Amino acid sequence: MSFQSSLLGLAAGSLLMIQPVLACDSCGCQQSCGSKESTSSRQIMTAKTGGASECQQSCSGTQSMPVSSRQVMTASLMAQSPNIVEIAVSNDDFSTLVAAVKSAGLVEALSAKGPVTVFAPTNEAFGRIDKDTIAFLLTDQGRPQLERILLHHVVPGRLGASDLVGKTEVETLAGTTLSLEVARDRLFVDKALVQSADIGASNGVIHVIDRVMLPPVQASPMEMLLTNAIELGVPMFNNNNAEGCAAVYATALDAIASVDGFGLSSQSRARLSKQLMSIADMRDASERAWAYRRIMDSMLNGQMQM
């Protein structure tokens, strides 16, 4: 069986579990009503109340049961169906995704009531990523990044394919945005192709995609501080205010050297402090500004061994 057909079979199985056709204890009625909703909700109600006439009446139209009762029955059936994690675990093509979800500590979150919409990459999709990167993400050190990547694939609410087609973008639980586009009758999510859609779960819906979607690079506190300092200092320097530019750069670097919260070890911060003291003795403001800037650029480019 092909991957796509196996997923379609899984989707069909989920729907059958959610909306079973039950026989009435009294009359043995196994008729299907006009809609999938009415098949499950009305026949379950008549199976409980009994009576051939009641069963025939319930299968004849939606007027015989109040809307609230049908909703309660549908909700009850949904609660009996597998959740998103259980569906993923039951399909071998999601084994890498399941391992990632477990490593990131998101099993409980994705098994909760929800509802959420999950864009699920297959093993083949994960195979496009370098093996060393995958190995790092599955470590404790890579866990924060892995969690953000996975949440980049989760959208609050139950959004079927028809709902997505009518949107241009959706916001994820990672606080990021995914673009939506329909091209040649195919749905693309952030350039990932939706291979199989609307796999229903008790707590949401799964759409299978052909690649892992990476969120925008999240700047570290040190990167944000240095970038802001450069954006503030460059106009000063270009307007013949080298002294002001040097002061801005020195303030940012002093903060990094003094505060234990920018990802540097105590030894690295001590070395940086010595460098800053040496630069501060330079008389020419332009030279000081450029000396600070070279340190900042090295730190931003990851070339400086701290």
Residue 214 in any domain: the answer is no
Burial (CB < 10 A; 0-12, 13-18, 19+), residue 67, is exposed
96 shares a domain with 75: no
Dump pLDDT digits (tens) for 245-276. Answer: 999 999 999 999 998 878 788 888 899 999 99
- Give the number of other Cβ atoms within 10 Å of residue 152's Cβ: 22
- What backbone phi and psi angles, to 5 degrees, belong to 183? -140, 125
236 shares a domain with 201: no
Helices (H) and strands (E) in the chain, counts: 15, 7
Bridge-based pairing of strands 204-209 and 116-121 is: parallel
Q: For position 133, which CATH number holds? A: 2.30.180.10
Q: How many domains does the structure of the chain reveal?
A: 3
Q: Which domain holds residue 28?
A: 3-80
Dump pLDDT digits (tens) for 43-80. Answer: 323 333 344 344 344 444 444 445 444 444 444 545 56
Residue 119 in any domain: the answer is yes
Q: Which residues pair with 182 in a beta bridge?
A: 187
Residue 191 in any domain: the answer is yes
Residue 114: per-residue pLDDT: 83
Residue 305 in any domain: the answer is no
Dump pLDDT digits (tens) for 145-195. Answer: 899 999 999 999 999 999 999 899 999 999 999 999 999 889 999 999 999
191 shares a domain with 109: yes
Two structure tokens written together for 168: 């241009």
Dump pLDDT digits (tens) for 114-157. Answer: 899 999 999 999 999 888 888 888 888 888 889 999 999 999 99
Q: Model pTM?
A: 0.56
103 shares a domain with 73: no
The last residue of one of the domains, among 170, 185, 209, is 209
Residue 46 in any domain: the answer is yes
> Residues 100, 143: contact at Cβ < 8 Å?
no
43 shares a domain with 7: yes
Lateral strand order in the sheet of 116-121: 154-156, 116-121, 204-209, 192-201, 186-189, 177-183, 169-171
226 shares a domain with 183: no
Residue 306 in any domain: the answer is no
The last residue of one of the domains, among 209, 240, 258, is 209
Residue 79: per-residue pLDDT: 52
Band of pLDDT at residue 203, cut at 50, 70 and 90: very high
37 shares a domain with 50: yes
> Residues 138, 103: contact at Cβ < 8 Å?
yes
Residue 216 in any domain: the answer is no
Distance CA 178, CA 190 (A): 5
233 shares a domain with 161: no
Residue 215 in any domain: the answer is no
- pLDDT above 70: residue 225: yes
230 shares a domain with 126: no
174 shares a domain with 91: yes
Band of pLDDT at residue 102, cut at 50, 70 and 90: very high
> Residues 10, 92: contact at Cβ < 8 Å?
no
- Give percent of the chain above pLDDT 90: 55
The last residue of one of the domains, among 209, 233, 256, is 209
Count of residues for the chain? 306
Residue 45: per-residue pLDDT: 31
101 shares a domain with 200: yes
- Give percent of the chain above pLDDT 70: 72
235 shares a domain with 281: yes
